[in-house]
């Protein structure tokens, strides 16, 4: 059985946090609850180390924090939406759409495939608008899986 890349329990349509670390922790806690991350502190340290190399904010209100980590059990994508936006270091301002990509340490190019597919979709206004307008976590997860899954 393969694990779905993103499921409704990995979607938060109204993130409460207003800073990058809080939002990443909120999404990471969903990964722990889903059994996809075994050690939240290790995972958050790996995410932070990746952020220190280069901010993961993209133009157009997108944040894509990501890492490979020994704490990750399966390639996973979590999604959160922020009304006010969260600073992920993009030049054009805060991110309203946040994708947390978690890849197992030995996961090879899996997370790069997901990252590339996601980046290609995020240049499409229609894709972003669908994510901004979504009201149902299960439908959003299904839409993202159909668009991004390898």
Catalytic residue among 30, 36, 66, 96: 66
Mark whether 66 is an active-site residue.
yes
Q: What separation in angstroms does the CA of 39 have from each of 44, 88, 111? A: 9, 23, 19
Q: What DSSP state is assigned to residue 40? A: H
The tokens of 25 are what?
Answer: 């922790």
Q: Which candidate, 149, 6, 17, 128, places its Cα nearest to that of 83? A: 17
Catalytic positions, written as ranges: 66
């Amino acid at each position: 059985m393969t694990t779905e890349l993103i499921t409704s329990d990995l979607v938060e349509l109204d993130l409460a946090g207003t800073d990058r670390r809080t939002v990443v922790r909120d999404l990471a806690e969903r990964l722990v609850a889903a059994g996809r991350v075994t050690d939240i502190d290790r995972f958050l340290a790996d995410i932070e180390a990746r952020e220190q190399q280069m901010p993961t904010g993209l133009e157009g209100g997108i944040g894509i924090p990501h890492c490979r980590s020994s704490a990750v059990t399966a390639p996973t994508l979590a999604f959160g939406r922020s009304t006010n936006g969260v600073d992920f270091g993009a030049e054009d301002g805060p991110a309203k759409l946040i994708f947390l990509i978690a890849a197992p340490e030995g996961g090879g190019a899996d997370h790069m495939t997901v990252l590339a597919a996601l980046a290609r979709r995020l240049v499409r206004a229609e894709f972003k608008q669908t994510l901004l307008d979504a009201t149902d976590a299960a439908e959003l997860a299904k839409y993202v899986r159909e668009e991004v899954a390898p």
